[in-house]
């Protein structure tokens, strides 16, 4: 059978670039764009079909911040497909970012400039919101919604005689210092994005521990520093003339650090690379980084994640408990 691939957050940025590249590599695959905004999803589908006529591109409404949306989407996926070969968990948000302009210009002329620009450390803080289900919005969107989706789709992902891949889009901003097992939703902190991405790394390790024996393999990638809508939203007050100064700086920095991939096409390199790998051969403790050289050549590099197996298992248990509570309140368990 043709491979079945589902990508969340597929209507723009790295997600859309991945879909374009996947169809270029394997025109016969069945591709499903799982998106919150269906108008944008339809536009993305039209663009993909314009460049790949005859491709099998389906749409699925999915808002990972909503338990109801995740459960409904999973039910629809199980009606459409008898298997799922690749599940790309790419959707994510960084809401209401606050940018410290003074700290930015101070950091630009420091020796930590590359780390600051790549991670946002010291210059970015976010104000989180609350979902209709009473969860922290970043936690629900970036982590729990995806966790619940995996749980709901296990029957398609874990099938005898075949393997499947769950591939998470993490971040270089995944910082252990931002995460607390006692506050997994990051209600008390001001770095919910960083916390959710570190939790993503932990959860990937836990999924491998529990589901490798059933044929499911989980991997984590970092797209590098990419200029997407999420990135531009961080600096909403920047006038055009300032961007004209900042962008050449980014291109210059890429000469010294390959993490500045800058374009969604480049950022999708590691996601595409994993599409061609035998999942059994991958290191569950590595994060696969998209890198772009100063001359624009793309490559991937595995880097060991700063994760602890005991902590990953403890997070997994907490997420199962949260799932149990959600289902109990809904009367579905």
The tokens of 229 are what?
A: 């809508």
Helix axes 145-152 and 309-330, enclosed angle (nearest 10):
80
DSSP 125: E
Helix axes 67-80 and 145-152, enclosed angle (nearest 10):
30
The single residue listed with the structure tokens 């999973």 is 74
Other Cβ atoms less than 10 A from the Cβ of 305: the count is 22
Query: b or e along 194-220 (b: 16 or more beta carbons within 10 Å of the residue's beta carbon)?
Result: bbbbbbbbbbbbbbbeebeeebbbbbb
Residue 316 falls in the annotated catalytic set: no
Residues β-bridged to residue 298: 292
Catalytic residue, chosen from 193, 198, 285, 316, is 193
Please state, in angstroms and as integers, the Cα–Cα distance from residue 118 to each residue in 5, 71, 253, following that order. Answer: 29, 35, 10
DSSP 118: H
Query: What is the C-alpha to C-alpha distance for residues 24 and 216, in angstroms, rounded to an integer?
Result: 25
Sequence-ordered list of residues with C-beta below 8 angstroms from that of 333, at least 6 positions apart, any chain: 324, 327
Which residues are marked as active site?
Answer: 193
């Amino acid at each position: 059978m043709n491979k079945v691939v589902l990508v969340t957050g597929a209507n723009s940025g790295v997600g859309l670039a991945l879909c374009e590249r996947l169809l270029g590599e394997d025109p016969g695959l069945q591709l499903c764009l799982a998106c919150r905004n269906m108008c944008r999803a339809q536009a993305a589908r039209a663009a993909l079909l314009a460049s790949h006529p005859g491709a099998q591109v389906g749409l699925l409404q999915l808002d990972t911040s909503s338990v109801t949306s995740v459960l409904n989407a999973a039910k629809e996926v199980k009606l459409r497909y008898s298997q799922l070969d690749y599940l790309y968990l790419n959707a994510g948000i960084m809401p209401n970012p606050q940018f410290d302009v003074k700290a930015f210009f101070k950091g630009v002329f420091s020796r930590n400039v590359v780390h600051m620009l790549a991670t946002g450390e010291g210059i970015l803080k976010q104000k989180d919101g609350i979902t209709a289900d009473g969860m922290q919005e970043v936690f629900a969107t970036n982590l729990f919604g995806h966790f619940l989706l995996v749980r709901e789709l296990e029957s398609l992902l874990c099938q005898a005689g075949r393997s499947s891949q769950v591939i998470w889009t993490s971040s270089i901003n995944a910082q252990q210092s931002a995460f607390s097992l006692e506050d997994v939703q990051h209600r008390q902190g001001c770095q919910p994005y960083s916390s959710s991405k570190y939790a993503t790394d932990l959860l990937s390790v836990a999924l491998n521990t529990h589901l490798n024996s059933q044929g499911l393999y989980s991997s984590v990638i970092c797209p590098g520093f990419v200029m997407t809508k999420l990135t531009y939203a961080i600096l909403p007050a920047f006038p055009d003339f300032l961007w004209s100064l900042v962008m050449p700086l980014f291109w210059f920095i890429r000469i010294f650090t390959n993490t500045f991939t800058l374009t969604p096409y480049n950022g999708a390199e590691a996601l595409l690379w994993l599409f061609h790998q035998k999942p059994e051969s991958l290191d569950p403790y590595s994060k696969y980084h998209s890198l772009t050289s100063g001359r624009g050549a793309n490559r991937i590099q595995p880097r060991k994640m700063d994760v602890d197996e005991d902590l990953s298992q403890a997070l997994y248990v907490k997420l199962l408990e949260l799932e149990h509570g959600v289902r109990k309140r809904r009367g579905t368990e």
